Amino acid sequence: MDANSVPLPDKEFTLEELDNELLLYHPTKTTTVYMNETASIIWRLCDGERTINEIISLIKDSYPEAGSGVEQDVEATLKMFSDHGAISL
């Protein structure tokens, strides 16, 4: 995964926020994507302009308690988004 690439969210997804988690639904692909609280934060940072590195930096700054695994968590989450077709990398 190129950390300088920009994740592009698929705007066809409909979003529902339930407490601190998200559900996304794509009407054509009939896919529902569940996002826990962490994934929801990452999703909201995928604005079509931020690079993966910028997303990682923002999370580290905002959540210093997140520790050293932030890069891996972000990449794993973005891969999950990509596998569901929610973003393109």
Partner 1 sequence: MSVEYSPDFSELIEFLYSDTNADPVDSPDATLNVHEEDGELTLHCGEEQLYRGGEISVLATALIRETIRQLIDNNADGMALHAAALSRNGRGILIPGQSGSGKTSLSTWLTSRGFNYLTDEYVFIRHNTNTMQAFARPPNVKVRGMEAALEHFFDMDKHEDQTIQSNHVAMIPPRLLNPDNKQENPTVDLILFPRFRKNSDLKLEKLTKAKSGLALMESLVNARNLNGHGFNEAARLARDTPGYRLEYGGFDQLHEEFDNILP
- Whichever of 29 and 60 has its CB closer to partner 1, that residue is 29
CB of 71 to partner 1, least distance (A): 25
Cβ atoms < 10 Å from Cβ of 16: 10
CB of 33 to partner 1, least distance (A): 9
Q: Which pairs from 67-76 meet CB under 8 Å and 24+ separation?
A: 73/38, 74/42, 75/1
* Number of Cα atoms under 13 Å in the Cβ half of residue 18: 8
Q: Give residues in contact with partner 1 (CB under 8 A).
A: 14, 16, 18-19, 21-23, 25, 27, 30, 32, 34-36
- Whichever of 4 and 30 has its CB closer to partner 1, that residue is 30
Nearest CA to 36 among 82, 80, 89, 88? 80
- Whichever of 35 and 56 has its CB closer to partner 1, that residue is 35
CB of 74 to partner 1, least distance (A): 20
